[in-house]
Chains A and B, each alone.
Chain A
Amino acid sequence: MKIVVCVKQVPDPNSVDVDPVTGAIDEERLIYVVNPPDRCAVEEAVRIKEWLGEGEVTAITLGPPRAEEALRQCLAIGADRALRLWDKDMESLDALSIALVLAEAIKGMGYDLILCGAESADWGSGQVGAAIAELLGLPQVSVITELKMGPDGRNATVQRKLERGEREVVECPLPAVFTIDASLNEPRYPSLPCYVEALMREIPSIGLQDLGVRRGSLRIETAPKILGISLPRPRPKKVFTPDSKLSAFQRIDAILSGGVVGRKRILIEGSPEKLAERIVRFLAERGIIGY
């Protein structure tokens, strides 16, 4: 079984120091690590390989030369191969263009399963995994907290993390893209021989041309730009006052609950097209989008 894991090198959140006035990040102090859920994805891929008794795990990243270090961490955990994609045109790509480049590289190497971290610790858009699935025409299950391979490796049963502590169990045919939640597993502390071998490996790096991706197909100029970074300011807190029209009992009840009202939920099911239509209608009815 060929498993491809997409990883990203991110600054360790503990090393990020934002100037409270200017919002500038002190780049000199940044320490780079493998995005934590991506590490779990590599660990899971290696566990699947070990469980099946066969397979090949490839860790792939899009990033500058320093990102090689992240790939070495993946090799140390047990990935068989590592590949870095880099080009000066890849410096400021948005999530969709990153997915396009990754998908192109993955297409070239063959796959039975693709794992990604659910979202990165730095930008956290959570889009890359979904976009890769779309580009490769694969089913996608997002934010998974449990993964059980079917005995023949042709399908998998996974548990998804939903809002408010709920979980959903989904069975999915392979090949597919799963995006991994960091609670899925605890990545191993690599043994010395694995670690040393990983440190000594040559890691290949390829660019757009090697992938056959045209620069024009990437959204380089239209990618979202960062205008500024600032620390969040606390929002003014609303003082809760119970509605005077309510009965005394209801008012006491409202005060005790602090004005918190249970959220309303609607669960809809159906084909992707139907679901998308329902979501758009839902938003349009509330005037959130024009339709």
Chain B
Amino acid sequence: MIGKFDAIVVGAGPAGSTAALILARAGLKVILLERGEYPGSKNVSGAALYGTRILHELIPNFWEEAPVERYLTRRVLTFISPQSSFSLDFRTTNFDQPPYNGFTVLRPKFDRWFASKAQEAGALLVPATVADDLIWDGDMVVGVRTRREDGEIYGDVVIAADGVNSLLAKKAGLRRDLDARQVSIGVKEVIALDRKTIEERFNLQGDAGVTYEFAGSVTGQVYGGGFLYTNSDSLSIGIVAKLASLVEKQVKIYELLEEFKSHPSIEPLVRDGVVKEYSAHMVPEAGWRMIPKLYSNGLLVVGDAAAFNLHTGIFSEGMNYAIASAAAAAETVKQAKAKGDFSSRSLSRYRRLLERSFVLQDLKRFKRAPDFVNNPRLQNVYPITICRAAESLFKVEGSPRRKVAKVVLGQLREDNLSLWQVLRDAIDGGRALIW
């Protein structure tokens, strides 16, 4: 048997590495378990890393040493119909200064680097080891059981950073089985293209980058969307689709990705690229309502395991919530260690810290967003209506022009949408996102 640890962190993604880093720096004896051969080998993400302030606080000027791809100065939201697309394109030079607003990263590299920082701080990283059960002493969690022989590890506290399908949170009775309506499936390809081509195609300079998000007929009748991010010398392109909707419509998600890549607005962007990676993963998307109980005696749940993921249509973020929640968990553990009390009463401070931080505030504030995003008209009707309306507005064919309102109303009628319905959806959207 191996000796006892102060803290056992399960999962070396951004959440796990943050917790391990902070606790190791505080002088605690920390073990960081990772299921994959190395951190970042098993998880999947877009990946755009926003909210860099908190990482900057942990590792000042982290972008100078971390394997980040491009800093983000441009963000595009595109509605697409089968033949056309309509984009809202935001770019600013305010985001090209340190501490940048966001970066694209490749998780196999980034997570590996991040875990190495926790290692440098003194945490013991144990890769290729799956922890899938808890060890109890009465109603207190006192360790984890790994799949290796003699695989028990004991510690004062366990931090479950084991991802969306957290086995530990489930074993502790903090969450139920995942519901197909609460999760999406994301598939992603990393497509290699040389730097110069990327800079030309996406109108970028130097290390600046862009993220595209797509809504509309990307996913056919299935609920979901697409994304395309620029890395240094590759593109990350993918589809995220509601699991329940995929099942209902009997659609295979990789077919959606192929269709997406061959869309007339996308194909020129990825042309001649070579697919280097293909990956798929579940995404917790139900926001506020999906959050499990966050702690029990001797156990804290952080990151995706706690469903800290915000998907509102205009934001699609997870890593910043993972890092912030793990930082709160680590602070809680530091205090608990000082008091020598790891009971759920003592660990309840974790929830209070999260309520004060942006993590629970954002998720609560945008709690209506998942329903709004799953509105069938928003998913599959409006984006196409917008594209068609734009088409008739810009079409020049020698007949008298109509004013915008006429065009839009005509298009709504053509698509069998009542003005009343549209207004109601707009109010829903407003309540979800705007006020």
Contact = CB atoms under 8 A, between A and B. Distances in A.
B244 interface: no
A192 interface: yes
Interface in A1-36: 17, 28-29, 31
Contact of A190 (B1, B125, B148, B276): B148
Nearest to A28: B109
Given A29-B276, A31-B38, A191 B148 contact: yes
Interface string B1-28: 1100000000000000000000000000
Given A17-B276, A29-B276, A31-B37, A192 B124 contact: no
Interface string B138-170: 000000001011111100000000000000000
A255 interface: no
Indicate the size class of the contact surface on chain B.
10 to 19
B129 interface: yes
A241 to B, nearest CB: 41
Given A29-B276, A31-B37, A189-B148, A195 B124 contact: no
Contacts of A189: 148-149
B276 A191 contact: no
A189 B148 CA distance: 7
Interface in B107-150: 109, 124-126, 129, 146, 148-150
Contacts of B149: 189-192
A196 B152 CA distance: 12
A200 B2 CA distance: 11
Interface residues of A, number: 14
A199 interface: yes
Contact of A192 (B2, B125, B276): B2
A192 B148 contact: yes
B38 A192 contact: no
Contacts of B129: 192, 195
A193 interface: yes
A43 to B, nearest CB: 15
B126 A196 contact: yes
A195 B276 contact: no
Interface in A187-221: 189-193, 195-197, 199-200
Contacts of B124: 196, 199-200
Nearest to B145: A192
The interface centre, meaning the residue of A29, A31, A190, A192 with most chain B CB atoms within 10 A of its CB, is A192
A77 B190 CA distance: 35
A197 B38 CA distance: 18
Contacts of B150: 191-193
B148 A195 contact: yes
B37 A192 contact: no
Interface in A150-203: 189-193, 195-197, 199-200
A172 to B, nearest CB: 34
Contacts of B125: 199
Contacts of B153: 192
A27 B31 CA distance: 30
Contacts of B146: 192
B126 A193 contact: no
A227 B103 CA distance: 38
Contact of A195 (B37, B109, B126, B152): B126
Contacts of B148: 189-192, 195
Nearest to B151: A192
A147 B170 CA distance: 47
Given A31-B38, A199-B124, A193 B1 contact: yes
B196 to A, nearest CB: 16
A21 B151 CA distance: 47
Given A189-B148, A192-B149, A196-B31, 20 more contacts: A17-B276, A31-B38, A189-B149, A190-B148, A191-B149, A192-B126, A192-B146, A192-B148, A192-B150, A192-B151, A192-B153, A193-B1, A193-B2, A195-B148, A196-B124, A196-B126, A197-B2, A199-B125, A199-B126, A200-B124
Interface of A: 17, 28-29, 31, 189-193, 195-197, 199-200
26 contacts: A31-B37, A31-B38, A189-B148, A189-B149, A190-B148, A191-B149, A191-B150, A191-B151, A192-B2, A192-B126, A192-B129, A192-B148, A192-B149, A192-B151, A192-B153, A193-B1, A193-B2, A193-B150, A195-B126, A195-B129, A196-B31, A196-B126, A199-B124, A199-B125, A199-B126, A200-B124
